Copies of this chain bind each other. A is one copy, B any other.
Amino acid sequence: MRVFNFSAGPAMMPQEVLEQAQAELLDWQNTGMSVAEVSHRSKEFVACAAHTEELLRQIMGIGPDFKVLFIQGGAFGQFADVPLNLSKPGDVVDFVLTGQWGTKAFKEAKKFGVQATVVADEKSSNYTTTPAQGSIRPTPGSAYLHYTPNETIGGVEFGYVPETGDVPLVADLSSTILSRPIDVSKFGVIYAGTQKNMGPAGMAVVIVRDDLLDRARPDTPSIWNYRLMAENNSMLNTPPTFSIYLLGKILEWVDARGGLEGMEERNRTKAETLYSFVDSSGFYSNPVAHDSRSWMNVPFLMANSELNKQFVAEAAEAGLTNLAGHRSVGGMRASIYNAMPQAGVDALIDFMKEFERVHA
């Protein structure tokens, strides 16, 4: 009955996690209540949230000089929240643009009276590239440098972490968090909406270095103030309890599959299989530079774009859903996050071969 869901987000979750959630939806931990009904101040839920944080710290290797926060509003909320927490009006803040999400973050920051400065912009390649390693130079004195390690729409991913010296590095890791190991110590702030590799939509995970906690503007909304949220273990207000619970389950799933090394192996194999097929095909193509191809989001085109609708519809009938490209770019896109098994990628390739055989 279950399909292979290639949605860019909200996205496929591990079936094992959904089955656990289903089994205990009316009675969690023998409380006689759903986890969505228990008080966030109850000892059971406080332990659940602490377990989720601890697992995330362990799996990502987050050091003791970082806070982990669960904040409502998703990544788009953080587009505003980062300048509110890290900059003063008039400050220079730097942006690296490699696609639509970074550009949205840049535009949102400009609402907050900062000198938003583009220090690298891959527009000339139509956002199919990332800047050459070593070429990104932050503005001296910049409050932070923001970039988007994986652009979900274009399918463009950095193969390296930029070096920014004393300027804190801020990353929107929404669509690549937990997909492979990352050196958290290189970052000032990592944030990620949960609806790709971390569960349902409705929350952002924010990982923030302690020395950046005291920069918030006085008019930062309390529930978005990193310091206040850190002091209250993300429970200054009622947290999205069901999301925190599901994230914990997903982290257990990741942990049981070898952690981020296990995910890296799984995801590299999936991505290589799919890109190899696309590249070997004369029928499909991917426009992204080889060193900047996303492991998570794989766009592909057909020379005859009039076939796109038919491709997407027939794939859905075959149990391969949500393969339409983003409405702004067209074509197709297969999002293959952690929860997508190799079998899903193999089934997609089989379908693509058959579609090519009929239409080539």
Contact = CB atoms under 8 A, between A and B. Distances in A.
Nearest to A39: B7
A237 interface: yes
A238 B34 contact: no
A103 interface: no
A9 B237 CA distance: 11
A238 B195 contact: yes
A72 B321 CA distance: 28
A223 B5 CA distance: 27
Given A26-B15, A193-B238, A36 B200 contact: yes
A230 B40 CA distance: 30
A333 to B, nearest CB: 11
A119 interface: no
Contacts of A238: 9-10, 74, 76, 193, 195, 201
Contacts of A40: 10, 201
B322 A80 contact: no
A183 interface: no
Given A74-B72, A223-B73, A238-B193, A11 B37 contact: yes
A150 interface: no
A64 to B, nearest CB: 28
Interface string A15-35: 100110110011100011110
A28 B240 CA distance: 22
B223 A7 contact: no
A199 interface: yes
B10 A322 contact: no
A42 interface: yes
B25 A10 contact: no
Contact of A36 (B77, B193, B199, B236): B199
Contacts of A351: none
Nearest to A201: B238
Interface residues of A, number: 70
A76 to B, nearest CB: 4
A330 interface: no
* A3, A108, A242: most-surrounded residue (chain B CB, <10 A): A242
Given A73-B72, A200-B242, A238-B9, A111 B36 contact: no
Contacts of A61: none
Contact of A27 (B2, B36, B108): B2
A2 B202 contact: no
Given A32-B321, A74-B72, A79 B222 contact: yes
Interface of A: 1-3, 5, 7-13, 15, 18-19, 21-22, 25-27, 31-34, 36-42, 72-77, 79-81, 108, 111-113, 193, 195, 199-203, 218-224, 236-243, 246, 319, 321-322, 327
20 contacts: A2-B33, A3-B31, A5-B32, A7-B42, A9-B39, A10-B39, A13-B37, A37-B200, A42-B322, A72-B72, A72-B74, A73-B221, A73-B237, A76-B223, A111-B218, A111-B220, A112-B219, A202-B202, A202-B203, A202-B243
